[in-house]
Structure 1
Amino acid sequence: MGYVKTAILMAAMTALFMVVGGMIGGRSGAGVALVMAGAMNLFAWWNSDKAVLRTYGAREVDMQSAPEFVGLVRELADRAGLPMPKVYIIQSDQPNAFATGRNPQNAAVAASTGLLSRLSREEIAGVMAHELAHIKHRDTLIMTVTATFAGAISWLANMAFWFGGNRNREGGLLGSLAIMILAPLAAGLVQMAISRSREYEADRIGAGICGQPLWLASALGKIDRMAHAIDYPTAERNPASAHMFIINPLHAHARDRLFATHPSTANRIAALQELARSMPREEFAPSRIPTTRRDADGPWG
């Protein structure tokens, strides 16, 4: 059902794009705008993983610098049937994590030092399994495509207001102004709905990868509580990237409610608890993670 919902929402995004584009020279104007928007965003898509990792000051680690964390990711990637992604650590007290990359062969996972020091080994396994689920089902690509459409719609809406050929038709200037405001807002809402849909799916698939839905459920509860108590200044300066994290990292400003890219944590936990009741119990011990929490400058790297 998650994939059907995503397809419907992406179709709505496409339709909205064409409606706004029609305000500028009809079909031909929309076609030119689509080509220009695609060209601008192709470069961003190709380099999106590098850009976001650089934005958050992520540091790549390996089996020499962080053997236990990298070993865990390797174990989970093998279980998921994925190539080994690059592994990064971000210096931040707020526990959080994200995945990026245009496909499984060019993917990366990143976890904050707060996550590695504050969560148990089982909870870290649940979080990283969730991020690998995003990679396995190419959610990072889906979100890049929807972000491209959202940006193109905002751009077209502004062009329609200033250069639209239909201003003298029904609605006039007020109609163009309404489109300029409402079209990007609608695009943003569709983008956020797609993001929320993919989070539920990644929770389900990630639980299957590690075999223990309650590990992820416990992690989500802890991360949510701490994310509301610990500021993440870098994320606050880059709110458009909030959808990438396992839990929304934003809370310090009133505007953050405009970026509700994640479903209710309580609902996600309830869904995982229901899944745990229906799944056969698997024996998977993330053996390379110590039984007690460690500071990120220890075996985590």
Structure 2
Amino acid sequence: MVVTMFLLGLLYVVFVGVLIALGVRALTVLVFAGGLLLVQYFLSDRIALFAMHGREVSPQEAPELHGLIDRLCALADMPKPRVAVAESDVPNAFATGRDQKHAVVCVTTGLLRRLEPQELEGVIAHELSHVAHRDVAVMTIASFLGIVAGLMTRFALYSGLGGRRNGGGQGGVPVGAIILLVSALVYAVSFLLTRALSRYRELAADRAGALLTQRPSALASALTKISGDMSRIPTRDLREAAPFNAFYFVPALSGGQSIATLFSTHPSLERRLDQLAGLSRELGKG
């Protein structure tokens, strides 16, 4: 993770350096991107709940869910996040919020119907690990470079810079074309690095969640059950959920193996199960 974050930072420095060297005045674009970053950072919990139709529930409305989260938070010695439920048959869960004081854990009704108590405990422990490690803040900041590069690409495309040239248009270097090329390249590289970071964070959350409950096999069972049940969910529902894959415990639509893995926000099911099996052996729970 440190290597990936270092490469993202280095990429950002090089990108800004190229812009300065080309004499580009992109302050407005950068300010706009910074504004988007702040909105996403401070309002991520509200945005996610609204987008995924989640509703906060009280202990009276969902006593078992609240009780489970109370126990896990006591074990982890962390503040209890807000608790929400989303009316969806897609079995999934997510956690969001910039820190532990502004976090929310949301599960779908489809998940609650399908999982046994120990399996649900494993999924919630995974999501609480995201909260404890401030993964939403980490991924928001990491994605900032991609946002800037994407905006710069649009800026170059729509402002007509492609026809400008240094030297008063007398056969010089097409500055707009260079900006477009560099921005697109930076966006592509940052996209891949951010996806790699996301996959690492998911593996880390799996491990931390399994260690918290001391039952890696329960989390593995939940992963297997949810992934298997996805194939029985209507494709339309999965496509509606797919844009939020980065938040979810299990992606609604997966690219499977091959090169598509590079673009995935989650490790493959096999990779996650292998890690949990190894952890079971370490804990002597075979």
Report the TM-score, using the length of structure 2 for normalisation. 0.84
8 Å CA contact 2:93–2:107 kept in 1: the answer is yes
Matched, 1:101 2:104: no
Count of aligned pairs between the two proteins:
273
Distance (whole Å) between structure 2 residues aligned to residue 15 and residue 164 of structure 1: 24
Paired residue secondary structure (2:12): helix
**How many angstroms does 1:154 deviate by?**
0.3
Matched, 1:115 2:111: yes
Distance (whole Å) between structure 1 residues aligned to residue 98 and residue 14 of structure 2: 25
What residue in structure 2 maps to residue 291 of structure 1?
none
What residue in structure 2 maps to residue 53 of structure 1?
49
Distance (whole Å) between structure 2 residues aligned to residue 164 and residue 20 of structure 1: 16
Distance (whole Å) between structure 2 residues aligned to residue 240 and residue 74 of structure 1: 30
- Say what the alpha-carbon RMSD is for the aligned residues: 2.8
2:273 to 247, 266, 269: 269
Q: Which runs of 4+ in 1 moved over 6 A?
A: none
1:188 to 162, 185, 191: 191
Note the alpha carbon deviations across 1:57-105, whole angstroms, 9 max, x for none.
1111121001001110111111111101111111111111110001011
8 Å CA contact 2:226–2:250 kept in 1: the answer is yes
Paired residue secondary structure (2:96): strand
Matched, 1:91 2:87: yes
Paired residue secondary structure (1:102): coil
Paired residue secondary structure (1:229): coil
What residue in structure 1 maps to residue 225 of structure 2?
222
Paired residue secondary structure (2:143): helix
Distance (whole Å) between structure 2 residues aligned to residue 20 and residue 223 of structure 1: 46
Distance (whole Å) between structure 1 residues aligned to residue 220 and residue 3 of structure 2: 23
What residue in structure 2 maps to residue 138 of structure 1?
134
8 Å CA contact 1:5–1:197 kept in 2: the answer is no
Question: Are residues 63 and 207 of structure 1, via their aligned partners in 2, closer, same or farther at CA, if it must alter by over 3 Å?
Answer: same
Question: Are residues 180 and 149 of structure 1, via their aligned partners in 2, closer, same or farther at CA, if it must alter by over 3 Å?
Answer: closer
Paired residue secondary structure (2:267): coil
What residue in structure 2 maps to residue 197 of structure 1?
200
Note the alpha carbon deviations across 1:130-182, whole angstroms, 9 max, x for none.
00000001001111112333212100222244447985565766545434543
Identity of aligned residues (%): 36
Question: Are residues 175 and 38 of structure 1, via their aligned partners in 2, closer, same or farther at CA, if it must alter by over 3 Å?
Answer: closer
Which has the higher mean CA deviation after the structures are superposed, 121-130 or 205-214? 205-214
Which has the higher mean CA deviation after the structures are superposed, 171-180 or 207-216? 171-180
Note the alpha carbon deviations across 1:25-64, whole angstroms, 9 max, x for none.
35xx356643332123212321111011011111111210
Distance (whole Å) between structure 2 residues aligned to residue 130 and residue 190 of structure 1: 22
What residue in structure 1 maps to residue 23 of structure 2?
25
8 Å CA contact 1:45–1:102 kept in 2: the answer is yes
Paired residue secondary structure (2:245): helix
8 Å CA contact 2:135–2:201 kept in 1: the answer is yes
Greater RCO (CA < 8 Å, at least 6 residues apart): 1
What residue in structure 2 maps to residue 67 of structure 1?
63
Distance (whole Å) between structure 1 residues aligned to residue 191 and residue 224 of structure 2: 27
Question: Are residues 157 and 141 of structure 1, via their aligned partners in 2, closer, same or farther at CA, if it must alter by over 3 Å?
Answer: same
Distance (whole Å) between structure 1 residues aligned to residue 276 and residue 132 of structure 2: 19
Paired residue secondary structure (2:84): strand
Distance (whole Å) between structure 2 residues aligned to residue 101 and residue 24 of structure 1: 38
| 1:14 partner letter | Y
Distance (whole Å) between structure 2 residues aligned to residue 232 and residue 83 of structure 1: 37
Q: Structure 2, unaligned stretches of length 5 or more?
A: 167-171
| 1:230 partner letter | I
Distance (whole Å) between structure 2 residues aligned to residue 238 and residue 188 of structure 1: 20
Note the alpha carbon deviations across 1:204-243, whole angstroms, 9 max, x for none.
1111111111111111111122224324756634755321
What residue in structure 2 maps to residue 289 of structure 1?
none
**How many angstroms does 1:183 deviate by?**
3.2
8 Å CA contact 1:24–1:164 kept in 2: the answer is no
Distance (whole Å) between structure 1 residues aligned to residue 68 and residue 223 of structure 2: 19
Matched, 1:78 2:81: no
